[in-house]
Amino acid sequence: MNLDALNPMQRRAAETLEGPVLILAGAGSGKTRTLTYRIANLIDHGVLPWHILALTFTNKAAKEMLARVEKLVGADAQDMWIGTFHSVCVRILRRDIEKLGYQRSFTIYDDDDQLRLIKDGLKRLSLDENRMPPKEIRAAISDAKNRMLTPDEWFQESLKDYRSQQIHDLFCYYEERLRAANALDFDDLLLKALELFVDHPPVLDYYRQRFQYVHVDEYQDTNTAQYTFVRLLTQEHRNLCVVGDDDQSIYGWRGADIRNILDFESDFPDAKVIKLEQNYRSTANILDAANQVIAHNVGRKEKALWTDAGEGEKISLFSAGDEREEAAWICEKIRKMQRQEGTPLSQIAVLYRMHAQSRVLEEMFTRAGIPYRIFGGTRFYDRKEVRDALAYLRVLVNPADDVSLLRIINTPKRAIGDSTVEALREHAREEELPLFSVLCDPPETLSSRPKKCIGEFALLLMRLTAMKDTMALGDLVEAVLGETGLRAQFEIEGSEEAQTRLENLMEFAGAAREFENQSEDKTLEAFLENVALVTDLDRQEDAPQYVTLMTLHSAKGLEYEAVFLTGMEEGIFPSVRSVMEEKRLEEERRLCYVGITRAKKRLFLSFARRRLLFNQITHNAPSPFLREIPRRLIADEWAAAERQPFGNAPRSAAQPSRQPQKQEMGFGAPGMAAGSRGALNIPGVQKGFVASPARAYAAKAAVFRAGDRVMHRKFGEGTVTEVRGSGAEERIVISFPAYGTKEFSVSIAPIVKIGDE
């Protein structure tokens, strides 16, 4: 290990080994490298590896950190605990959860399991699912648990109205059913670990002695429960090192509390604060824009990113007529980067504020023949056939798991209908028995045929349970797929969709084999735990050969050569709910900062003057975040003389042109010209107002010649075969591979040239 490989501030952080330490690590400043070297340096100074704990937010980050430490100090790194909050808490609970009245074979319920339980509660309490949406109830329960509130405590903080009472009753039912099923949801993993620490002091003492040096990555994203977990562990030795960036705190909507990082020095008055501000990712112009935007936030710690990598290209700004013109421009830019600069598709990302914005982008990418992938789509382990297989395995581990049992009781079809299932559940409730026990001894009231089917199903589960104790993991999973008929149902069907589902089951069996080959703990319990703790970011492929489309929230922690920030309009980004609330607006601004700092070399910003979204046409003003970027950093894009300017009321087309005034403020500041066909007044771009529409159209028409490759917002990519006429009467004829030959008026055609410039 050579600390000379670090810059001065990174080295200072790596050499500060005792007491509370706050490392404020700006985007792209090498925080993982710094944290890795600090851990390695602790070991180099004689700290035993098993006294070190490092907490991350993704399994991928934990694996990367472990691999880096191992490279520096060798195999001793394996004795550390490096993992996510949830995976570390699971390890603690598997050891001691019996002290809380649970069995160690507890099941971890995911989002889908939670929704099933909540829907069941709505039925039991005779509540309307339309008036009490299950996802809304799940969010309320999760928020309460993140704030460490019981159902009664949550109700005391609520409005205490009729709706609050209903949510409280559902919350109570949900908790009762979880305990009866020997199951925990994701939030419970932290809460139950905390309960162990508080109610059983010897357990807390054991882990305090075990973990004498605690590290927390992405500290700005911690919630109340995570904050409390860390404080309890470090209360005595106080060797806590947290790494984070308050400017990248963007998960307030799911419980993250930015005060945890902002108040660190209040919690630890003797804390050493080290700022990592040198950026190794982006160009100076990109960083300048990011610094200028985030400086408008009040609730932050002062810092400014810098780089010695050079200024780089200016930021490209495009004002589109509508969302299809915006998407066509993006396609044009991607094609140009591929042809002229050789930028691989894997290094291009298109970011948006909400998932609904992807629809038009997907359509245009398909027509342009640009491969893309939506990041954050259906998880592999969320696909129905895979969830069915998982449900069988979960019942083998935890027969009390009624949610999983209900999922598979008639999957594949085995003539156990809904009325039979309801009779079994009613009997289980009356006798206060798990559903599995009722399957083994069904009530006499059932007729012979359903009784026979239930008996065969119970025998199947018992046979598979016996296999679990004697077979290797990979063999067991394949046996389950075969014995249950999960595989056969798709083999018999033979359709293309069935073939895809069959392939997914085979991939699932392969995942079990891979886990068996790579993990020390090769049990079914460990495999199911690993599946439950996989996050979206853990599934991000390193080099996909297609453009990545994703929300800004999903982009955190990633980086690309070129990044497009789309829909930069007030009411979209920032969102309409945040405009009137300063706290929310500051989080939206941090989200903008995160988006900007994903870009390494090229940054593209776009907004539309007219947008169809959620089946409504809106005319939004440009995002206020655009006005916070100095004009000196912006390069106007594609026929700026035809773009509606920011801000002021339209000017008559007959008014004279006006040269740009030198401004160091954002380009929405006073001095911006305004007009019905105006331009963005950016220094160095000599475009003013035009005297008549015909002159503007003539300027546009001159761009097109026979043989040019162009993109039409509806018909996709085509080739110009003829240009005729002049001025406002000019016409263009284009041949489209999929639509044949079309003729357009140049004055109104939504066309962009995509040939080399």
Q: Is 526 exposed, middle or buried (0-12, 13-18, 19+ CB in 10 A)?
A: middle
Residues 6 or more apart whose CB falls under 8 angstroms from that of 389 comprise 477, 480, 481, 486, 505, 508
427 phi and psi angles, rounded to 5 deg: -65, -40
> Do 48 and 211 form a contact (C-beta atoms < 8 A)?
no
552 phi and psi angles, rounded to 5 deg: -60, -35
d(CA 464, CA 441): 18
Which among 11, 12, 31, 501 is annotated as catalytic?
Answer: 31
Measuring CA to CA, which residue among 507, 532, 396, 368 is closest to residue 461? 396
d(CA 306, CA 45): 32
Helix/strand/coil for 533: coil
Measuring CA to CA, which residue among 458, 459, 463, 490 is closest to residue 476? 463
Measuring CA to CA, which residue among 141, 135, 132, 120 is closest to residue 186? 141
Catalytic (active site) residue 281: no
Which among 32, 618, 663, 719 is annotated as catalytic?
Answer: 32
Catalytic (active site) residue 407: no
Catalytic (active site) residue 217: yes
Which among 34, 224, 248, 566 is annotated as catalytic?
Answer: 248
Catalytic (active site) residue 503: no
Going through 372-432 in order, the beta strands assigned E by DSSP cover 372-374
Which among 110, 185, 217, 332 is annotated as catalytic?
Answer: 217
Catalytic (active site) residue 218: yes
d(CA 722, CA 720): 6
- Residue indicated by tokens 């945890």: 260
DSSP line for 536-594:
TGGG--SS-SSEEEEETGGGTT--EEEEEE---BTBTTTBTTTTT-HHHHHHHHHHHHH
Which among 598, 602, 611, 631 is annotated as catalytic?
Answer: 598
Quote the crossing angle between the two packed helices 473-483 and 448-468, to the nearest 10°: 170
Q: What phi-psi label fits residue 687: left (phi over 0), alpha (psi between -120 and 50 degrees) or beta?
A: beta
What letters, b where the CB count within 10 A reaches 16 and e where it falls short, cover 709-734? Answer: ebbbbebbbbbbeebeeeebebbbbb
Which among 120, 218, 246, 288 is annotated as catalytic?
Answer: 218
Measuring CA to CA, which residue among 57, 65, 7, 14 is closest to residue 277? 7
Catalytic (active site) residue 721: no
Quote the crossing angle between the two packed helices 384-397 and 524-532, to the nearest 10°: 140
Hey, which residues are catalytic here? 31-32, 217-218, 248, 598
